[in-house]
Amino acid sequence: MFPIRRLAALVLSTAVSITACGSDSSTAPTVTPVIGASASALSSSAVKITFSSKAGDTGYNVERAEGAAGAFTQVGTVSAPSTPGSVTYTDAGLKVSTAYRYRVLTVRGSSTSIPSAELSVTTLAFGSAAADITTDILANRTLSADTAYTLKGFIHVANGATLTIQAGTTIKGDYTILGSSLMVLRGAKIQAVGTADAPIVFTSSRPAGQRQAGDWGGLIIVGNALINRSGTVEIEGSGTDGQTVTSGKNYQVLYSGGNAATDNSGELKYVRVEFAGFAPSLNNELNSFTFAAVGSGTKVSYVNSVSGLDDSFEFFGGGFDFTNAVAFEGEDDQFDMSEGWSGRMQFLISYKSTNVAIRTGAGSYATDMQGIENDGCNGSGCDLGFDTAPFTTPVVANFTLIGAGAQSIHGAGGGYGMMLRRGTGGYYVNGVLARYPAAGISLRDVATWNRAGATAIPNLATADLAVKNVYIAESPNAFQAASATQNVFDLSGNGIAHSATTTAASLFAALPATGAVPSGTAAFDFTPAAGSPIATGGLSAFSGKLTTKAGTTIAGTTYLGAAAPGGVKWWLGWTNYVRN
């Protein structure tokens, strides 16, 4: 007989053996991580991950972490190729100049490997590459933020082309070619939509610290809307190379004869223009921003002019919605509207404190700089003189315009917060004018007075010109003195307050003193100071023609100026204050 003890041991041994065999058959195969992995920056917003696949792999999970200590999250998957070899994954939509870490996990069936070794990479800075633009743009083109472009000459976007400019792109005007500019002509479009974190910047080709007003020409947009001048009217500053259309040359550009009020020239958003301006002759100038006969289909918001030779923003006829604009140290008018401009504007800031340096040969200092200078019809083709329709009738709401005080930078004809003349109309509401050495407002000529109904308190039901709810500080006079050619509005009847002794600095949360050199945009806070008189006093309910003109686009406010008490400091992060 077989001993019972030996039989029990045999049964136990067999059971253990069977269990062990079962355990071995259920163990998952070992999945090894990828080999030869590397990461490289493709652009300011994209990274390429490369590694080698192995036979039997199903796919790969790619994980990403931001910075040195960020947690990993899966950002993508890649299928394994049918034949082992190199595998590439592109991760896009990343932040500019930012460090990232990556790792890759191999997948085989339902099993996944441990992560590969970490890969570190930093996305490129904006403008890491460079390219020149030397000829006109006659077909659709996109400018990338990864490239800094230089305009070599007078570059025209024409032939119905659309120029798209990515957020964060820098475009430089070539200093060596006097007046180098970008002109978007009638029928063409510009789609330049930046962000607060990545504005689109047009600037001088010279290094910071050496730049001057007039280093290059500026940004000019020409539309097909109506102006009030008949005949042939050319863009000021154009035509120095004659009338023959030659790519890259400053040939004559016309903007008269349009009839499409809703014409669309594209969109500008978070766009800055620095050190621009070109004046081949007196009163014949390119500005930082020039809008000629631009129609209402166009959108412009969050735009900044810095240290320009002539006007910061100039509008010739047409009309579109224009909001959140900042003008720093323009050498002529900050906002200049004429020839039937009928757009709607809200939230405007200008600060003019000194004469910045001007490039030799580009032009000269203006002798009549103002915060706003508005005209009706002036020049050739004004068939009915100042009464030529369509009248210049904008809505200009919530403006903060700061002049230089009683310093000797203004010519004999300048120094006004607003110059309204030559038959202009318009509705100017909820504004602040400060530090203008002549007066807050100059209201000139019979035609302009007639736009207001020839009365000191214009009736919004019938008038085409009114100034309502404006605070004037640190200026000796509210209006230029009345005379045969000058008129004044009633202060209390129009909600206009004047205090020559109230300082501009006391109105705002932060404003540099007269004559001070601001350290940058951090020196400015245009929100009302605690207890400031501009924190209240706004025209909150529109009526009459103002209501019709404002539509649903512009609403009244209970405060005065370009910023709400305790509100968003909308100019920070994308504007620039610099003098050279």
User: Is 448 strand, coil or helix?
Assistant: helix
Of 263-267, 422-426, 512-516, give the lowest mean pLDDT range: 512-516
283-320: per-residue pLDDT in tens? 789 999 999 999 999 999 999 999 999 999 999 999 99
pLDDT of residue 29: 59
d(CA 417, CA 478): 10
d(CA 214, CA 359): 5
Give the burial string for 73-109 (b: 16+ CB within 10 Å, else e).
eebeebebeeeeeebebebeebebebebbbbbbbbbe
The full length of the chain comes to 580
Complete DSSP assignment for 214-229:
TSS-EEEEE-----S-
d(CA 357, CA 57): 66
d(CA 307, CA 327): 8
Complete DSSP assignment for 165-210:
E-TT-EEEE-TTSTT-EEEE-TT-EEEEE--SSS-EEEEESSPTTT
Of 3-7, 408-412, 560-564, give the lowest mean pLDDT range: 3-7
pLDDT of residue 410: 62
Between 406 and 418, name the one with better pLDDT: 418
Torsion of CA 37, 93, 197, 207, to 10 degrees: 60
Q: Is the whole model's pTM more than 0.85, yes or no?
A: yes
Please answer whether residues 139 and 163 qualify as being in contact, where contact means their C-beta atoms are separated by less than 8 angstroms. no
- Using CA atoms, how far residue 362 sits from 153, 206, 218, 333, in Å, is 14, 15, 12, 17
pLDDT of residue 407: 67
pLDDT of residue 366: 85
Please answer whether residues 64 and 90 qualify as being in contact, where contact means their C-beta atoms are separated by less than 8 angstroms. no
pLDDT of residue 284: 85
| Residues 379-402, mean pLDDT to the nearest whole number | 97
d(CA 140, CA 557): 41
* Helix residue ranges, H only, 95-158: none
Six-digit token string for 377: 């019809």
249-275: per-residue pLDDT in tens? 999 999 999 999 999 999 999 999 999
Is residue 162 left, alpha or beta, with left meaning phi > 0 and alpha meaning psi from -120 to 50? beta
Six-digit token string for 383: 């068939």
Complete DSSP assignment for 538-554:
---S--HHHHHHHTTT-
| Residues 166-177, mean pLDDT to the nearest whole number | 98
d(CA 12, CA 137): 88
- Cα–chain-centroid distance for residue 396? 19
d(CA 533, CA 299): 33
Q: What percent of the chain has a predicted confidence (pLDDT) above 70?
A: 94
Domains in the chain, please, with CATH?
Answer: 35-122 (2.60.40.10), 129-550 (2.160.20)
pLDDT of residue 409: 64
203-251: per-residue pLDDT in tens? 999 999 999 999 999 999 999 999 999 999 999 999 999 999 999 999 9
CB atoms inside a 10 Å sphere around CB 570: 20
Average pLDDT, the chain: 93
- Burial (CB count within 10 angstroms: exposed 0-12, middle 13-18, buried 19+), residue 7: exposed
Instruction: For residue 16, name the pLDDT band (cuts at 50, 70, 90).
Output: very low
Give 234's DSSP letter. B
Q: Is residue 3 scored above 50 in pLDDT?
A: no
Please answer whether residues 235 and 253 qualify as being in contact, where contact means their C-beta atoms are separated by less than 8 angstroms. yes
pLDDT of residue 44: 95
Residue 375 backbone phi and psi in degrees, to 5: -125, 155
d(CA 373, CA 482): 19
Q: Is residue 435 scored above 60 in pLDDT?
A: yes
